[in-house]
């Protein structure tokens, strides 16, 4: 009995070690399984409806179109142009929003005065502004860039102002009583306080920016994934449209997993708001 128990106990760590990699990769496995189920249902529905591939594409026809667009160099051009517009718009919108949020937040009276206006503009979707931007600035990349800046800036600005107003004034007074300058108050009190709100607004704005990107490229561009999606619909080549849609989804997943989530976690860990990987 003792020998058998010893064998079981000695084998337990190996069994546990074998289960750990599976548990670590379980979210990825489940995610892939979810996509596989959707693709299978898609194929079944295409067979059941019996429509033309040009109207209701199959996964295989979309794959063929994807490979063809890659081989001809068409898809890389659209992806590159969309990424350049997206990154530029998100970066400029975020910087503008944070600077305004901090400046407004230095005066609580100004912050309370601006918050309803920012909330009002936040509620007006970027789609409403694009026709006006076209009238004012004409067709072209400038319209798309303005739409992206708008859709990113107001969620970030609104959340930054909300974060500033949630900072107890006693903290600011305490730091000032120790001789802190305005810059030190911003760095040591304001910025750490608005960080969770900023990340919330940034995630919302970055997600909305993809919607603005597609709509802007449909109206005011001759390249980009939004243009590719609209061009496929005009040509009645739905495989081309679906390739554009899938490319947008893949780009967002890549941005979210590779950049947004690590940035979110690293930023919050920097200020001690969540436990690090090696803690608790």
Which pLDDT does position 8 carry in this prediction? 47
Which pLDDT does position 3 carry in this prediction? 53
Which pLDDT does position 7 carry in this prediction? 47
Cβ neighbour number for residue 143 with a 10 Å cutoff: 24
pLDDT at residue 147 tops 70: yes
Report the half-sphere exposure of 183 (CA within 13 A, side-chain side): 0
Which pLDDT does position 22 carry in this prediction? 66
Q: Which of 183, 205, 202, 206 is nearest to 194 (CA)?
A: 202
Which pLDDT does position 20 carry in this prediction? 57
Which pLDDT does position 280 carry in this prediction? 36
175's tokens: 């730091």
Residue 96 near residue 149 (C-beta atoms within 8 A): yes
pLDDT digits (tens, 9 = 90+) for 59-84: 898 999 999 999 999 999 999 999 99
pLDDT at residue 39 tops 70: yes
pLDDT at residue 269 tops 70: no
pLDDT at residue 96 tops 90: yes
The percentage of the chain sitting over the pLDDT mark of 90, rounded to a whole number, equals 21
pLDDT at residue 95 tops 90: yes
Which pLDDT does position 276 carry in this prediction? 41
Dihedral in degrees, nearest 10, Cα atoms 99, 101, 102, 106: 140
Q: Mean pLDDT in the chain? A: 81
Which pLDDT does position 270 carry in this prediction? 61
Please state, in angstroms and rounded to a whole number, the distance separating the CA atoms of residues 109 and 114.
9
Which pLDDT does position 179 carry in this prediction? 80
pLDDT digits (tens, 9 = 90+) for 193-237: 788 888 888 988 888 888 889 888 888 888 889 999 988 888 888
pLDDT category at 274 given cuts 50, 70, 90 is very low
- What's the length of the chain? 280
Cβ neighbour number for residue 73 with a 10 Å cutoff: 8
Which pLDDT does position 221 carry in this prediction? 82
Which pLDDT does position 135 carry in this prediction? 85
pLDDT category at 86 given cuts 50, 70, 90 is very high
Which pLDDT does position 258 carry in this prediction? 83
């Amino acid at each position: 009995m003792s020998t058998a128990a010893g064998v079981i106990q000695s084998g337990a760590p190996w069994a546990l070690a074998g289960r750990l990699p599976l548990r670590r990769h379980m979210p990825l496995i489940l995610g892939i399984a979810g996509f596989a189920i959707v693709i299978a249902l898609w194929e079944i529905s295409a067979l059941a409806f019996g429509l033309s591939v040009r109207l209701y594409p199959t996964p295989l026809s979309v794959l063929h179109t994807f490979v063809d667009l890659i081989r001809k160099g068409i898809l890389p051009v659209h992806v590159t142009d969309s990424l350049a517009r997206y990154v530029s718009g998100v970066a400029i919108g975020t910087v503008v929003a944070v600077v305004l949020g901090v400046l407004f937040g230095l005066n609580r009276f100004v912050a309370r005065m601006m918050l309803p206006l920012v909330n009002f503009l936040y509620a007006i979707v970027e789609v409403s502004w694009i026709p006006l931007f076209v009238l004012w600035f004409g067709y072209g990349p400038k319209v798309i860039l303005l739409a992206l800046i708008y859709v990113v800036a107001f969620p970030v600005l609104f959340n930054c102002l909300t974060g500033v107003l949630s900072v107890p004034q006693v903290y600011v007074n305490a730091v000032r009583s120790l001789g802190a300058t305005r810059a030190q108050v911003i760095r040591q009190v304001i910025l750490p306080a608005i960080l969770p709100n900023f990340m919330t607004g940034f995630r919302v704005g970055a997600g909305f920016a993809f919607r603005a990107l597609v709509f802007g490229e449909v109206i005011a561009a001759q390249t980009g994934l939004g243009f590719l999606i609209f061009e496929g619909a005009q040509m009645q080549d739905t495989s081309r449209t679906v390739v554009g849609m899938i490319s947008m989804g893949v780009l967002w997943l890549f941005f979210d997993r590779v950049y947004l989530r690590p940035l979110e976690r690293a930023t919050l860990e920097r200020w001690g708001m969540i436990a690090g990987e090696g803690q608790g």
